[in-house]
Amino acid sequence: MRDLILQALFSGLLIGGVYALVALGLALSFGAMRIINLAHGELVLIAAYAAYVVEARGGVSPYWAIPLALAIVSVVGAVLFLMIDRIREHRELNSLILTYGVGIVLTNAVLLAFASDVRTTTAPALQDAVTLGPVYAMAGEIVAFGLSLVLMVALWWWLKRSWYGRAVRAVSSNRAAATLMGINPLRTELVAFLVAGALASFAGVALYTMSVVQPALGHALTVKAFIVTVLAGVGSIPGVFLAALLLGVTEALTVTLASSALQELAGMVLFLLVLFLLPSGLFGARARRG
């Protein structure tokens, strides 16, 4: 039983790393624009299928699909942003409806192009088992977790040190004041949306290398990303990572100790508990300002 629990904890941490990678893009667009992009999971899905196409037709590692995924997702993300920018009244609510509809369109487009078959990597190097003491995992899972750490640190540095990163923080804090300081809110929000799309591209490729993908997965990824964002507290990059790990571990322990049928329920119960007990998320407003 001890080894079983250790394996569940380890597996939960690895899948939590990928949840963090998926949620970082949504957290960025939500923090910068106060818009919940309900098509974010579909952007991740497009990148995952780009990895499948490159591997199936090119016979190379799925990670070679990252440039293609970045190009496709950036174009789709830019078009989606321009559609959102045309909304003049009730932007939050109408953008929610708009992105939900776009998500449905993208899901059906993927379904028409690739059918409903389940896809996953066939690269032996990514499917090999790696043993670390009493626990083990696929090499693809470990690589995806490492990629999540690297991108989280890179995003944190970009927001703290780069000009556009500071501009994104300024616009999210006070759009009018940022405009008076010479910041172009439209350009800044577009940059934030494109960076969120880039994170979705990496997340999709990483997800394909360690799990199975199918057209209906996009909506589920959006829900998990939203749960992680709320658990963390809007604007907290380390909080997103820790909240994603918590969600991954909770789901893995539920599957191991109870039933796989309760996996999604466990995540929602965790979400509701934090929402009731800590409305500002695991990282409160003071931590977010810091």
> Contact 99/36 with Cβ under 8 angstroms?
yes
Helices (H), the chain: 2-33, 40-58, 66-85, 91-114, 124-127, 139-161, 163-173, 175-180, 185-210, 217-232, 237-257, 263-277, 285-289
CA distance 202 to 148: 9
Residue 19, both tokens: 């949840």
CA distance 195 to 284: 25
| pLDDT for the residue numbered 13 | 92
Q: 22 Cβ partners below 8 Å, 6+ apart?
A: 40, 41, 44, 200, 203, 207, 221, 224, 225, 228
The interaxial angle of helices 91-114 and 40-58, nearest 10 deg, is 20
CA distance 220 to 86: 27
Q: 32 Cβ partners below 8 Å, 6+ apart?
A: 168, 171, 172, 188, 189, 192, 193
The interaxial angle of helices 237-257 and 2-33, nearest 10 deg, is 140
Query: Looking at the whole model, is its pTM more than 0.85?
Result: yes
| pLDDT for the residue numbered 288 | 43
DSSP letter assigned to residue 283: S
Number of domains making up the chain: 1
| pLDDT for the residue numbered 284 | 54
pLDDT less than 70: residues of the chain: 32, 234-235, 283-290
CATH of the domain at 172: 1.10.3470
Positive or negative CA dihedral for 121, 122, 126, 130?
positive
| pLDDT for the residue numbered 285 | 53
Residue 164, both tokens: 């556009």
Q: Is 191 helix (H, G, I), strand (E, B) or coil?
A: helix
CA distance 44 to 186: 24
CA distance 233 to 142: 27
Positive or negative CA dihedral for 147, 283, 13, 222?
negative
Instruction: Provide the domain limits for residue 91.
Output: 2-289
| pLDDT for the residue numbered 80 | 93
| pLDDT for the residue numbered 283 | 67
Q: pLDDT digit string (tens) for 141-159?
A: 999 999 999 999 999 899 8
Q: pLDDT digit string (tens) for 155-172?
A: 989 988 888 888 888 888
